């Protein structure tokens, strides 16, 4: 007899009850879920894997999120900024090794000095790389004016994770003040989209207090927002943060399995978006990122941060690639992607098909 999971996968109608059933899928049902996700991935994005060179620009952060190792109350890390030369060198490395795109990732700062620096760096990178290169920013919540300045400077994509789409849970994992306001974050995503960025968001899976219902709401939130890109990883405690001491019903292995399920459901529901294989997956399972590529993800992010800073961009404990150099990650990435028969799309910016179609309708 046909299982209910198999029926849902055929009918492709997804509201909360169906998503909950998929999140609970086990054994043969779980296998069916992954098989369907893989089928849809190959049909819509092929076997191509796009490379995004990750540049962790600075770990200075004005925010104090309860889960994050670079929160401003953590006095036990060395704060750093890459120099302009280091950012440009990393960008050149990505360009000459045909990565197709970079992501400039940073703690959140709103000072004019920071905004101006990012603007200047984006302009320089754009000048070096020409039009056919993806420049993604992930520098937190900013004003509309700032987002516009960075867009005009040449940034084409922006990543801002909602972390959880449930306002109550959001308030439990952030301080209760104006700079950690759920609605402002939602609003930032709308502003980014209106400006014309390719917009990515995502969540953490396995947060204390998070339920399967929350995850189902998160998936529907992303669907409704009509996102172009998605980055999702398991929550992993950092020993210098308040959530380290929190009771968590999810052990690391179940967070990992659940993350793969969420990714599979997202691929099935949002067929042509770009999905990243998050670094956090590899902190739990040595082949975490490859498993994500096998069933749903089509973006891999080799780290390009100069090695002596990596240890200090510690969002969570046991982060991978902290001792490796950009060259090590380059060699390792190729081997890892080949291991799962992925086809590295060298030199392609890899705009999400969802974004290309969205723009062609305007
Ligand atoms: N575990 C997993 N992911 C984390 N992030 C921050 N802290 C953690 C953690 N403890 C993620 C957030 C953020 C992204 C840059 O890193 O989702 O948006
Ligand atoms: Fe960095 Fe493998 S990708 S060491």
CB 52 within 8 Å of CB 136: yes
β-bridge partners, 53:
102
CA-based radius of gyration for the chain: 19
- Determine, yes or no, domain membership for 297: yes
Structure tokens at 79: 């704060």
14-42 burial string, b = 16+ CB within 10 Å, else e?
beeebbebbbebeeebbebbbebbbebbe
- Determine, yes or no, domain membership for 5: no
- Determine, yes or no, domain membership for 99: yes
Tell whether ligand 2 has an atom less than 6 A from the beta carbon of residue 51: no
Q: Write the pLDDT tens digit of every residue in 286-337.
A: 999 999 999 999 999 999 999 999 999 999 999 989 999 999 999 999 999 9
Q: In degrees rounded to 5, what are phi and psi of residue 219?
A: -65, -45
CB 203 within 8 Å of CB 278: no
Q: What confidence score (pLDDT) does residue 2 get?
A: 86
Going by C-alpha positions, the residue among 135, 102, 110 that lies closest to residue 60 is: 110
Q: What distance in angstroms lies between residue 66's CA and the mean position of ligand 2's atoms? A: 28
- What is this structure's pTM? 0.97
- Determine, yes or no, domain membership for 4: no
Q: What confidence score (pLDDT) does residue 134 get?
A: 97
Q: What distance in angstroms lies between residue 65's CA and the mean position of ligand 1's atoms? A: 9
Q: Write the pLDDT tens digit of every residue in 132-152.
A: 999 999 999 999 999 999 999
% of residues, the chain, pLDDT over 70: 100
- Determine, yes or no, domain membership for 127: yes
* Ligand 2 nearest-atom number relative to CA 302: 3
Using most ligand atoms within 8 A of CB, pick from 281, 300, 333 the residue to mutate for ligand 2.
333
Q: Domain of 287?
A: 32-360
- Determine, yes or no, domain membership for 16: no
* Ligand 1 nearest-atom number relative to CA 161: 18
% of residues, the chain, pLDDT over 90: 97
Residue 102: count other Cβ atoms within 10 Å of its Cβ: 26
Q: Write the pLDDT tens digit of every residue in 263-281.
A: 999 999 999 999 999 999 9
pLDDT at position 1 over 80: no
d(CA 71, CA 67): 8
Q: Write the pLDDT tens digit of every residue in 89-108.
A: 999 999 999 999 999 999 99
**Chain centroid offset of residue 47 CA:** 20
pLDDT at position 194 over 90: yes
Q: What confidence score (pLDDT) does residue 361 get?
A: 83
Whichever domain contains 157, its CATH number is 3.20.20.70
For the chain, how are helix, strand and coil distributed in percent, rounded to 5?
Answer: 50, 15, 40
Tell whether ligand 2 has an atom less than 6 A from the beta carbon of residue 279: no
Pocket of ligand 1 (CB under 6 A): 67-68, 161, 163, 204, 233, 235-236, 238, 280, 315-316
- Determine, yes or no, domain membership for 44: yes
Instruction: Give the model's confidence band at 362: pLDDT under 50 very low, under 70 low, under 90 confident, else very high.
Output: confident
d(CA 263, CA 11): 19
Specify the number of domains making up the chain: 1
Using most ligand atoms within 8 A of CB, pick from 316, 318, 320 the residue to mutate for ligand 1.
316
- Determine, yes or no, domain membership for 11: no
């Amino acid at each position: 007899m046909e299982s209910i999971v198999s029926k849902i996968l055929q009918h492709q109608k997804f509201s909360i009850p169906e998503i909950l059933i998929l999140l609970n899928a086990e054994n043969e049902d779980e296998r069916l879920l992954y098989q369907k996700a893989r089928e849809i991935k190959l049909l819509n994005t092929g076997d191509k894997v796009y490379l995004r060179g990750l540049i962790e620009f600075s770990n200075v952060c004005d925010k104090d999120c309860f889960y994050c190792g670079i929160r401003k109350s953590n006095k036990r890390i060395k704060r750093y900024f890459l120099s302009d030369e280091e950012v440009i060198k990393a960008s050149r490395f990505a360009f000459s090794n045909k990565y197709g795109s970079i992501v400039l990732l940073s703690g959140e700062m709103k000072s004019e000095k920071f905004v101006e620096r990012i603007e200047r760096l984006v302009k320089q990178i754009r000048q070096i790389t020409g039009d056919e290169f993806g420049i993604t920013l992930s520098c937190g919540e900013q004003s509309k004016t700032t987002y516009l300045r960075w867009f005009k400077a040449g940034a084409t994509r922006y990543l801002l994770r909602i972390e959880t789409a449930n306002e109550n849970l959001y308030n439990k994992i952030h301080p209760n003040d104006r700079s950690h306001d759920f609605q402002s974050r939602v609003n930032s995503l709308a502003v980014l989209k209106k400006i014309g960025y390719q917009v990515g968001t995502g969540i953490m899976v396995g947060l204390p207090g998070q339920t399967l219902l929350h995850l189902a709401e998160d998936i529907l939130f992303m669907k409704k927002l009509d996102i172009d890109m998605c980055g999702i990883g398991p929550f992993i405690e950092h020993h210098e943060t308040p959530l380290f001491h929190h009771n968590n019903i999810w052990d690391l292995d179940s967070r990992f399995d659940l993350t793969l399920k969420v990714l599979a459901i997202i691929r099935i529901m949002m067929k042509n978006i770009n999905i990243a294989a998050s670094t956090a997956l590899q902190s739990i399972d040595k082949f975490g990122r490859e498993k994500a590529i096998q069933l749903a993800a089509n973006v891999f992010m080799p780290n390009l941060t100069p090695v002596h800073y990596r240890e200090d961009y510690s969002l969570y404990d046991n982060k991978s690639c902290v001792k490796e150099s950009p060259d090590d990650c380059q060699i390792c990435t190729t081997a890892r992607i080949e291991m799962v028969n992925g086809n590295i799309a060298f030199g392609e910016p890899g705009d999400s098909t969802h974004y290309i179609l969205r723009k062609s309708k305007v």
